[in-house]
Amino acid sequence: MKKAIVLGGSRGIGKAISESLKTLDIDVVAASKADIDTSNMESVRKFLQTYSNTDILVLNTGGPPVRKFDEISEDDWNHYHNQLFVGFCTILQKISVNDNGYIFVITSNVIKEPNEKLIISSAYRASFSSVFKILSKDFAKREISCINIAPGPINTDRTKELIDNVDEFVDTLPMKRLGKPEEIGNFVKSIIENDIKYLSGVVINFDGANSDFIF
| Span 168-197, contacts to its own copies by CB under 8 A | 173-176, 179-180, 183-184, 186-187, 189-191, 193-197
CA separation for the pair 132, 84 (Å, rounded): 12
Is the CB of residue 178 less than 8 Å from the CB of residue 154? Answer: yes
Does residue 126 bind its own copies (CB under 8 A)?
Answer: yes
The answer to whether residue 163 forms part of the interface with its own copies (CB under 8 A) is no
Q: How far is the CB of 93 from its own copies (least distance, A)?
A: 6
CB 50, min distance to its own copies, A: 20
Considering only 3-11, 56-64, 134-142, 162-170, which stretch makes contact with its own copies by CB under 8 A?
A: 134-142
Q: Note whether 146 binds its own copies by CB under 8 A.
A: yes
Q: Is 66 in the site for its own copies (CB under 8 A)?
A: no
Please name which of 117, 118, 115, 139 lies closest in space to residue 202, comparing C-alpha atoms. Answer: 139
> Between residues 13 and 29, which has the closer beta carbon with respect to its own copies?
13
Q: What stretches of 5-118 show up as alpha helix (H) in DSSP?
A: 12-22, 41-50, 74-81, 87-94
- What's the rounded Cα separation, in Å, for the pair 161 and 200? 32
* 166 touches its own copies (CB under 8 A): no
Query: If we measure between CA atoms, which residue out of 40, 55, 65, 50 comes closest to residue 161?
Result: 65
Q: Choose among 41, 60, 35, 6: nearest CA to 189.
A: 6
Quick one: 29 or 153, whose CB is closer to its own copies?
A: 153
User: Is the CB of 54 or the CB of 155 nearer to its own copies?
Assistant: 155
Of the candidates 52, 53, 137, 161, which one interacts with its own copies according to CB under 8 A? 137
Burial class (CB in 10 A: 0-12, 13-18, 19+), 7: buried
Instruction: Tell me whether residue 42 is exposed, middle or buried, using C-beta atoms within 10 angstroms of its C-beta: 0 to 12, 13 to 18, 19 or more.
Output: exposed
Residue 124 engages its own copies in binding (rule: CB under 8 A): yes
Residues in region 17-36 near its own copies by CB under 8 A: none
Q: For residue 102, state whether it binds its own copies (rule: CB under 8 A).
A: no
Q: Which of 16, 21, 59, 89 binds its own copies (CB under 8 A)?
A: 89
212 sits near its own copies (criterion: CB under 8 A): yes
